[in-house]
Structure 1
Amino acid sequence: MTLKCICNICTCGRHYCKHQDCTFIHPGAKTEPVTEYSARYTEHELGKVESFRPKHAPLPDGKMECKSIQREDFQPYQLEKKWVRPQEIWQKPPGTIDNLTSYNITYTGRQSAPVRPIRHDKLTLSVGKFEGEPTYRADYKKWDKIPSKKYGPVYSWSPPTQKLANESTFTRDFKYNYEPPRKSMRPEILSKIEPPLEDKTGYREDYVAHSLPPKVLKEKQTYNLPAVPLDCLTTSRHDYQGQSGPRTLSYKPKLTPVCAQEPFPDMTTFKQDFCEWPTEKRSIRQPTQYVKPPGKVEQDTVHKLTYKEFPVQHTTSYRPKTSHRPLGNIESNTSYNTDYKRFDVPPVRISKKESYAPPEVPFQGISTHQAHFIEHPRTQTKSFKPTSFQRTDEAPLDDSTMYRNEYTPKEVPVCPIIFLNTDKSLYEFEGNSKTGHQLYKPLSSLQSKRAQLVAA
């Protein structure tokens, strides 16, 4: 007879076995985690893999030699000090330095006369007046030009008679110097061309002036109050009258509550499976006490013992000393001090701004929109929905659907886990497995029939 745990007996999929608690694990205990892989995987016995590595035969008794390739082949050599090139001592060259360069040796100065400006001989200018006719005067011929006719509207504008009161900065600071008109080089009277210039165009020949009709102005409509008051009814309120008919039946199956005569047990899985584990007191490690070593510390290092201090010889400079003393008195006269002349510039007078004078007319507070806005009567939108609509058929609305017609209620079986450990149970508790599953043994046929009668 096979044993079943709660995971196999459950039919609703909401009940599982309570596994072992892993919060307190003893050092010698082995834990087997319960997973889907460990529950379904069947363990197979595998043979031990043979190793192809040669086995080490036992060596004869004797001492182990400490020879190595480095110890046998290494030969010590005598070390020599690294050769350092000795530094040559500088010796002053014999003789004196002439301070001659290649430029001073190759360059020889030449005596040359001062450069004089090249001046041309005096030009002889003619005293008489030049008489000549330019090409512009000889070729240019004047003809009578017909004044162009203006076809647009005539604007009569006359300049203002009163002078502008405000004076700008430009008119105050700018002083206009009169410049006489230049003499024109165009001849006053010339021979005219006999055939005048043809200035006729298609627009001037074909243009016909038409009189424009007066502009049509639309009459402004006055606002009239509607005679019928606003009923404040929307299209939904006006047309919707509700549905008349019997109440729809519910095809949902009735839920029959599971009635049990025994009281509801207050024992939970946590209360049943939890067991308190004793804990040991935590050990605190005590720090080791510092013990001063015997003797004194020698602060002598290899550097202090072997290093010898030598006197430092400063490098001597071969550059001659330069004297910064001035040769004479400093002249403070410059071209700016001698040529600059100070002018008496009058201060700029700041004109006083005119004070603001408030208007005598009181402020009305009317905007442009309030002054020019004309309200027009509002036209109500016409509804194209039929006004007289009545249902001729008094039969109720057919609200049947395919789901309601084809739905067949099914009885939900009661999960057998609810009746475990009671008189109605079909299984008997056997024990717990190593992984924490609660195993149950199914009852015999007679006992199961009695349990079914008790449950009914």
Structure 2
Amino acid sequence: MLSFPFQDDYRAWDLQKSHLYKPEQAYHPPTVRFGNPTTFQDDYVPRAAQPRQSFKPGAAAPLSTAPFHGDTSHRRDFVPYELEPKPARPKRPYKPSSQPFQGLTTHRCAFRGLLGSAAKACRVPRQAPRAAPIRPASQRRKKFPFQGRSTTQEDFPEWEACRPREPMRPQQQMPGPSGTFDGVSTFQSHYVPHELVPTASCKPAQAAVRSSSPFDDVTWYSTEFAPKKREVCPASYPSPPGYIFETTNSRGHKFFRKIAPASSSG
């Protein structure tokens, strides 16, 4: 029988089962009903609900036996008065000022400037020395003849170019047609034409229904239309009737005032 190192080194101990120190539960629920009432049960006395008395009036409204005259306090107490026509007060014509406009404001007329000394410059008149340049003095370079060759030309010489080979083309695996093309497709060879059956038209006939009664050519517009007199715009007249010229503003617009109709005295 094979044995593993774990089985050789490990030995099971003979452990005894520990006893529980929890006390045994000796409580048994009571079999009788709990007899201690609560404060709510002692103080609360159930009473029968009594319906409240309704103060809502009945659905049937009381009807008056007196006839309705349609009179109101306004109709009985109101006394109409005739208003007198308001007198037309003439508008004062505009009178331009006789004094020429000087173009001066109150600030220009009342303000007087105070004489003061000229402002002095706050700069320091110290003459600072000019800074000497820090760049090194120019040195004359030696002149060498230009050879016209670079590092790339020396390290990468030109290679002899050879003509590329012909491109590799795949060989055609499907054989081409041996016979001549007759110009007939599969649809043309297998298609069987069928005769079309025309659908019955449900459109009504074009003949209109004619009435036997004569046409009176009368409409609501022709019977109820009342033509009104066309009024001419007052601006088309040089002096509009019923208006009085008042003045002309600076833009050349003329202003007219409508004449109040004379009140008829009885």
Q: Same-fold call, TM > 0.5?
A: no
When normalised by structure 2's length, the TM-score is: 0.32
When normalised by structure 1's length, the TM-score is: 0.21
